[in-house]
Amino acid sequence: MEDIFVYRVDPPIEGLAEIRAARTAWVNYHQAKMEFERGERDFEDIPAYDPDQYSALKKKYPGAAVYMEAERWISTGDPIKVRLGTRGMEKILNGEDPEAVIQEMSRELDVFRMAQEG
């Protein structure tokens, strides 16, 4: 059987690569810090990390930030969040206002959850 490799190519959203890189730096820093606390890594081996960079980039590139939040919703496996996250990603790719997109995603999720409870 032939191996199949899937490569993800990010869409051309301004700031997406920068936010992903900052998120990766945050994850790497916290992972290294936990390893240090468990005695598995030397302090000098903890990578440098700017704690304000991720937040600053999300503010600078709201479309990319909302796109990544929509991706996160899709990764939950919750069918409603998957549908809303997919729709949110499409709206960002179509140039819609990021703040309006995330508000609509949240509002629709709230409406669905309330309908489930009622």
CA dihedral sign of residues 51, 85, 9, 14: negative
Q: What is the DSSP letter of 45?
A: G
Residue 59 amino acid letter: K
Q: What is the pTM of this model?
A: 0.81
pLDDT at 86: 95
The H or E element spanning position 31 is: helix 16-37
Enter the tokens of residue 109.
Answer: 């999720």
pLDDT in tens, 8-51: 667 889 999 999 999 999 999 999 999 999 999 999 989 888 98
Rounded average pLDDT over 67-86: 95
d(CA 21, CA 53): 10
Q: Cα angle vertex 58, ends 13, 103, to 5°?
A: 85
- The residue written with tokens 């508000």 in the block is 103
Confidence at 7, pLDDT banded by 50, 70, 90: low
